[in-house]
Structure 1
Amino acid sequence: MRWRFWISVTFVVCFLSYSMVAPVFANAGDEDILEMDLDSLMDVQITSAGRKSQVLSDVPAAVYVIHREKLLESGATTIAEALRLVPGLQVARINANRWAISSRGFNGTFSNKLLVQIDGRSVYTPSYSGVYWDLQHVMLEDVDRIEVIRGPGATLWGANAVNGIINVITLPASDTQGGLVSLGTGTHEKFMAGARVGTKLNTDTYARFYAMGNDRDSFVKASDGSDGNDGWKNSQAGFRIDGDNGVRHTWTLQGDIFQVDSEQDVTPPFPPDSGSLVDSVKSHGGNILGRWTLKDSNHDICTVQAYYDFNTRDEFSLEQTHHTFDMDFQHRFQPARGHDVVWGMGYRMVRDDFANTFQVQIIPETQTTHLFSGFAQDEITIIDDLLWLTIGSKIEHNDYTGVEIQPNVRILWRPGERHSFWTSVARAVRTPSRMEASGKIIQGIIPFPVYTQISLNGSPKYDAEKLIALETGYRYAAGKNFSADISLFYNRYTDLGGIVSGENQWSMYFANNMEGNTYGMEVSVTWLPVEWMETEVTYSCLQMDITGDEYSKKTIEETSPSHQAGLRLGIDLTKNLRLNLWARYTGKIKFVDFTNTDLYRHVIDDTFSLDANIRWRINGDIDFTVAGQNLLDGDFMEYGSDGYLTPIEIQRILYAKITWKF
């Protein structure tokens, strides 16, 4: 594996050497490679950390923002791929249509400690409190930014915002006027297309309508290199309408419908001679969201939001349908000098319907749950322009564990214009899912001498998982050419989910029999050595010490890498031609192969990856991109096979894409 590292280093050095003579071909004074300098980037407004508009340098939390240009220059074709940019996130591709994504550990297909939102709409599934990433599609050309908060955000966003928050924020309709068409194809991306039209409905109302679709080829099985049977097709359409009724009132109405068809190679937990099968997974659904804001001043703002989300997913192990209705109210005001208060209330109703199978059952098959919440947070100015204290808490009532309280205390110190220090203490919980409370999974069958089922069962006694998190961080911006962001964290978990034996050795139950500590560091450094080149270096380390049953301990500790690093280069070759290079290192992980009767533990050694793309902007209206992913190795495993999926090797990907704005 070491030779791959040296090849990647040599490759990068060659391009760096070339970049030193690039001004011969490029007129660097014609156009800066960044739309904003680093001072402006540190002053960008974000909303996810405090449920209000804040300057990035004033946020007392570990925040990383993937801006629009960075997203397009990454070469990513999905939101999941783009999240590799974020230090501290563990992002691994399981197969062509599945991902394992988490923040600060606990990674897996069913990661359940990360809150993910798209324009303020939660996209987690109540069946296991995680995210089906194959269903999360956004037209990337319409994304304004992706805000990622590493660490707990439960005080403002509630249960399940335990280790982080991801909020995908799209552009307002007024910024997407006119038409756009994009088409692409490649070795894995057989077909990708998108179209959008934006129009002005009247003096103060703008709208956009879009449609998109993708057809992705399958990868190969790790065992023999044959077809992985994991192809993936999706189609989606939607709209967004934004209006301003005078200066004080703004409103948004938006919605989407989608259909996703994919395949997976499954080995059911039945007698060994049953073999594997190709499962067709079919999903469809839609959502509609409305938001109204009343603004009396920059610090007196009321917002009411409501959305309805419907989705259904049919696969070999389980068919599930969810209806979610969510209402949220919040108010920001300043009751006295030096106080900036945000408070609000929320209600969520989830109705689910399961069609049980032999392998997976959830009882009762249909159930409606309710969640009531309220929160308040006050940012207090202790010393003007120097020291701030933020205190707040959220109180929730859910149908599984009753009342949960999730407070936090944060301090921000800015001794100079370019320096920011922050620290925080917070409590967060993850409430049980339907599977943990009342599910049953057949893990295997022993046919002789007596027919016996090995099962993993839910328990009504399953409690909320709890976290006390300590964090501290530092940000520095040196003029227009250099910025650095570092964060340190220590997490103490109690009542973590594990497995205990039941009345006999063949029955196991979900239980809160685990606890542990995690700690680590995340670093991001951006440097513009010359005006026609941008560099970014990221690094994160993670150490986990979990105690409890040995199987759960290994599953938790070994599925997230201890070290990750990335190097991203953007080189302006000419006025309209840009080369983007992205090298990544991921540390060793292990996983259990459930498709093997001996539950063999696979080891995935350190991996080195290199992506590259060239963007050619033609006349300002046409953007042509040629991209390559995983250029160093054509067949390798990034992650294992949570559940009973066949282990898959990821392949080298090449594609070309053209986008026309008119």
Structure 2
Amino acid sequence: MIRLRLAVIALLFSLLVIATSILPCFAGDTDVTSELDSLDLEDLLQVEMVSPSERKQSLEHIPGSYTILTAEDIKSSGAKNIPEALRTVPGVMVTRTDTAKWSIGIRGFSGVFNSKQLILVDNRPITSPYFDGVIWSTKDLAIETVKRIEIIRGPWTSLWGSESFNGVINIITKSAAEMQGTQSVTTAGTDGASQFIRHGEKVTSKGTLAVYAKGGYEGGKSYKIRGRTEKGSTNWVTGSAGFRTDWLNTYTDQFSLQGQLSTSTIDEKSPPGNHFSSDNEKKEYSGYTQLLWDRKTGVNSGMQFRTSYTRDAITLEDMDVESNAVDAEFIYSAEKMGVHLLTFGLGGRYFWDSFSQGKKVSVINDNIYRLDFSGFAKDKITIIDEKLFLTLGLKLDYSGSNDLSPQPTARLLYTEGDEEYWLALSQATRQPGNWIREGNYKIKVRDTTYDVNISSNLEPEQLSSIEAGYRKLFSKTLKLDWSLYFNNYDKLATFELDNDNNTATPASNLSGLTYGTEIALDWSPLSFLTLRPSLDLSNQDFSRTGINIPGFSPPINSPIYSVKLQALFNISKEWEFDLFSSYLNTMDGKDLSTGFGLDARLAWTPRNDLSIELIGDSLLGGVNDGDFVPAEPSYTLRLTWDF
């Protein structure tokens, strides 16, 4: 088996070498993404975007439900980290379950473990292949280095694979050319303090380099948990340092090399309902390096090769885990052939984890090794020039000893002037994470503690999805985005409880429907005012409700509505005032943390190179999907100085 895997790897890399040697070069130098911020919405309709995640298509001509947060959007939200920035997005629910823990969900299923969306940084997966979630405490991604965040809701498994069951969040960082000069960002407030500094310069006529470092401290927060105030983990100290270098050949090629090391320590406390936390000091670290090569081979064609290595060391209650992952992918977009525009890709990821078993938490094996392969093909067919397009896609995933998992999709897009209509049909499957199949730990349900029984008989989870949407650009100041979805889930992993023996056994027996709508407006009624209201209505109808186990967050048989509103005031050239309010509730009184939340930001820019911001979070309490709500508001002063 090992020889077979080595032979397959050798064959794939041989094909990559052959492809890069025979494909023609084409002159033309257009760095599209660096010009996006200067364009209005009508111009964006005509722009070709090349995201690090592939994928050549018009920025607005996407047959799916999506949101793009620019660096300016992120700053206006007052976000100090990635999860906070995602709070403003329709269809996305963010819960801060402890000082260093977040749960993020797209259209439900927002558990820390067993989440069903893929999260990427420059197309590098940061979702743990073992735990099926993101361990945010080790990432320490500086928000100051982020250029934009692309959030795609709904199954895009035909392009990104089985991890993108409910959606994809792609965090795209700034290039070295966009981080030239020196910048210092200092924050201080009721939660703690942090310091970020970066420096960039041109090293050759075609090459740029940027280095950065960040350190921070948070004293810890108190949370209202089911009506009681509990103290969370305290003394969270973080530190990170990274670099990025880019080299651009005027004619054909662009190379990027980047990397980061980060570490954190925290006095962890396990409050009621927040399992997998220890009552002692915890130290963790993470590091990665990534190489990206992008080559133009024609006016609308190109290829891209990306490879990365990631290493994490985390603690899960009293079990220590060291994770390593090497991944590579090759993507080729062909020139348009008649009505067909073909894109295909190959990818692979090899990861190995080692465990120092604990007394409270352990796994079956001390070491885990797994090799995953995937391949996809996509054809965008022009049915009516500049009006009607049909996209057919298929991805095949192979994971460990499991069978190939096909992920097909068909997406139809119709454009007429400033209007777009789209329809999507998708079929997706995913394997439950190793953690739910192989972990030995305890769970607490309704004040009763259960021992988890290991189960290796879990079946692949299934999803059939129908989506539709409508967009209209009424004017330069008003845009509407409306989407509908209907998802049929089957064989979802949950737990069977045995009250006689106090055991919980993972089982593939949860099935049901989720359906709803998302409506978002971007409106500038006045020259100094921009309003971004959104409404998210969803209903979950499952034949049997999953057990409410912290960290796994099964669906609730309940209609849920979430209302969000951003109000951005450009008071003058020097002053900005921004508000973000949200409300979350169920229509039938089910147990869900609800209420009205309000965040605010006041910014003063006395000079082009100096910005002072006062940020207030949870001013009227918190709104979260779950039982964790910050007990008190927080206030932060942020000073940004470019020199």
For Structure 1 versus Structure 2, the TM-score category normalised by the shorter chain is: 0.7 to 0.9
Correspondence for 1:459: 455
Higher mean C-alpha displacement, 107-116 vs 452-461: 452-461
1:128 — aligned with what?
A: 131
* Alignment counterpart, residue 498 of structure 1, candidates 482, 487, 494: 494
C-alpha displacement of 1:57: 2.0
Q: Which residue of 1 aligns with 2:464?
A: 468
Offset, 1:395? 0.7
Counterpart for residue 614 of structure 2: 626
Q: Could you state the TM-score of these two structures normalised by the residue count of structure 2?
A: 0.88
| Structure 1 partner of 2:249 | 245
- Residues 231 and 271, structure 2, Cα contact 8 Å, conserved in 1: no
Pick closer, same or farther for the CA change 1:589–1:618 going to 2, 3 Å: farther
Deviation at 1:224, TM superposition (A): 6.0
The alignment partner of 1:297 has SS state of coil
Which residue number corresponds to residue 263 of structure 2?
259
1:373 is aligned with what amino acid? S
Q: Distance in 2 between matches of 1:97 and 1:602?
A: 28
Distance 1:561 1:74, change over 3 A: farther
DSSP-derived class of the 1:585 partner: strand
Q: What is the CA deviation profile of residues 301-321 of structure 1, one whole-angstrom value per residue up to 9, with x for unaligned ones? A: 111110000001024242111
How has the CA–CA distance of structure 1 residues 221 and 426 changed in structure 2, closer, same or farther, with 3 Å as cutoff? closer
Show CA shifts across 1:483-515 (max 9, x none).
010110000111111123579733332111111
Mapped to 1, the partners of 2:629 and 2:90 lie a distance apart of 25
Between 1:329-338 and 1:467-476, the stretch displaced more is: 329-338
- 1:559-597 CA-partner distances (Å, limit 9, x unpaired): 99811111111111111211111111112599xxxxxxx
Once residues 92 and 62 of structure 1 are traced to their aligned partners in structure 2, the CA distance between those partners, rounded to angstroms, is 22
Q: In structure 2, what is the Cα distance between the partners aligned to 1:90 and 1:175?
A: 31
User: Cα distance 1:42–1:100, how it changes in 2: closer, same or farther (>3 A)?
Assistant: farther
Q: Distance in 2 between matches of 1:88 and 1:519?
A: 12
Give the AA of the match of 2:419: H
- Which residue of 1 is the match for residue 218 of structure 2? 216
Look up the match of 2:30.
none
> Is the aligned partner of 1:483 residue 2:483?
no
Contact 1:94–1:639 (Cα < 8 Å) also in 2: no
1:656 pairs, out of 608, 623, 637, with: 637
Q: C-alpha distance in 2, partners of 1:160/1:199?
A: 37
The SS at the match of 1:217 is: strand
Contact 1:101–1:111 (Cα < 8 Å) also in 2: no
- Structure 1 residues 101 and 522, CA, compared in 2 at 3 Å: closer, same or farther? same
* Deviation, structure 1 residue 460: 1.7
> What amino acid maps onto 2:606 in structure 1?
I
2:64 partner letter:
A
In the alignment, does 2:184 pair up with 1:195? no
Query: Which whole-Å CA distance do the structure 1 matches of 2:61 and 2:625 have between them?
Result: 37
**Number of aligned pairs?**
598
Between the aligned partners of 1:315 and 1:131, the Cα distance in structure 2 is 13
**Does structure 2 conserve the Cα–Cα contact (< 8 Å) formed by 1:318 and 1:360?**
yes
1:616 CA displacement: 1.3
Secondary structure of the structure 1 residue equivalent to 2:468: strand
Larger relative contact order (CA 8 Å, sep ≥ 6) = 1
Note the aligned Cα RMSD (angstroms).
Answer: 2.7
Question: 2:494 touches 2:546 (CA, 8 Å); kept in 1?
Answer: no
Residue 34 (structure 2) aligns with: none
TM-score w.r.t. structure 1 length?
A: 0.85
CA distance in 1, matches of 2:508, 2:383: 41
Counterpart residue type for residue 58 of structure 1 = H
Deviations 1:122-162 (A, max 9, x none): 00112321112233332222211100000011111111100
What is the distance in 2 between the residues matched to 1:140 and 1:277? Answer: 28
Where does residue 371 of structure 2 map in the other structure?
Answer: 370
CA gap 1:65/1:221 in 2 versus in 1, 3 angstroms: closer
Residues 486/442 of structure 1: CA separation in 2 closer, same or farther (3 Å cut): same
**Cα gap change, 1:166 to 1:560, in 2 (>3 Å):** farther
Matched, 1:86 2:89: yes
In the TM superposition, what whole-angstrom CA distance separates every residue of 1:149-201 from its partner, at most 9, and x where no partner exists?
0001111111110001000001111111111011110111x111100101111
User: CA 1:261–1:46 in structure 2 vs 1: closer, same or farther (change >3 Å)?
Assistant: farther
In 1, Cα distance between the equivalents of 2:100 and 2:586? 22
**Comparing 539-548 with 40-49, which one deviates more in the overlay?**
40-49
Moved more, 246-255 or 212-221: 212-221
What are structure 1's unaligned runs of at least 5 residues? 1-33, 270-275, 446-451, 591-600, 642-646
SS of 1:94 mapped into structure 2: strand
Measure how far apart 1:50 and its partner are. Answer: 7.8
Q: Distance in 2 between matches of 1:359 and 1:588?
A: 36
Distance in 2, matches of 1:175 and 1:102, equals 31
Report how far residue 400 of structure 1 moved: 4.9
